[in-house]
């Protein structure tokens, strides 16, 4: 059972937190990490390679830093280039992924209090991911509650270690999920 982790960080080398989160997952078996910015520095995604990668997956993790309340541009482009053919041009491919559990894992520059209904933006992380949730639903996949590490610029070493442990525990629990049957 393979878990596909799509990493979408445009400057991973500069990211202390996202690098640490990934390092915390190194020893997990059956985890395929696809670093989209390393694979496609020119933004020219190979649709067939990515469709094949997705078709092999039993679970999908989307790991990315929050950019202006959304995903980084290459992750959105991946959705357009990969999912459009799968669900609109060759819908049988999309059907074969039905029931795929999906987890978004994000990092934010703001504190967790910034992502609350009474905050300045007035939305939770889950609210901000409405388009990802809609995409997941449209694909017949199953959205999980997102994982978030907040205030990344101000994390001390102890808080970062706890975030890494929490992320690893979340992924370990996530990999126990099987595809959910959509049969009636």
Residues in a beta bridge with 4: 32, 60
Per residue of the chain (184 residues), give pLDDT as tens: 799 999 999 999 999 999 999 999 999 999 999 999 999 999 999 999 999 999 999 999 999 999 999 999 999 999 999 999 999 998 888 898 999 999 999 999 999 999 998 999 898 999 999 999 999 999 999 999 999 999 999 999 999 999 999 999 999 999 887 666 544 3
Q: Where are the beta strands (DSSP E) in 31-127?
A: 31-35, 59-65, 101-107
Three-class SS state of 128: helix
Stated pTM of the model: 0.94
Cβ–Cβ < 8 Å for 52, 90: no
Domains of the chain: 3-174 (3.40.50.360)
Q: How many residues does the chain have?
A: 184
Longest alpha-carbon distance in the chain: 49
Q: Tell me how far apart the alpha carbons of residues 132 and 167 are, in angstroms, rounded to a whole number.
A: 20
């Amino acid at each position: 059972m393979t878990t596909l982790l799509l990493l979408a960080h445009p400057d991973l080398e500069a990211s202390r937190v996202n690098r640490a989160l990934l390092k915390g997952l190194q020893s997990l078996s059956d985890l395929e990490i696809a670093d989209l910015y390393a694979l496609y520095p020119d933004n020219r995604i190979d649709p067939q390679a990515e469709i094949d990668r997705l078709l092999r997956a039993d679970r999908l993790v989307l790991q990315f830093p929050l950019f202006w309340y959304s995903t980084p541009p290459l992750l959105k482009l991946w959705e357009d280039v990969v999912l459009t053919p799968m669900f609109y041009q060759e819908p049988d491919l999309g059907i074969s992924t039905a029931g795929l559990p999906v987890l978004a894992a994000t990092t934010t520059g703001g504190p967790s209090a910034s992502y609350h209904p009474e905050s300045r933006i007035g939305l939770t992380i889950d609210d901000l991911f409405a388009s990802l949730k809609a995409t997941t639903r449209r694909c017949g996949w199953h959205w999980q509650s997102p994982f978030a590490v907040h205030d990344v610029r101000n994390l001390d070493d102890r808080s970062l270690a706890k975030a890494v442990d929490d992320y690893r525990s979340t992924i370990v629990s996530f990999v126990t999920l099987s595809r959910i049957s959509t049969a009636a």
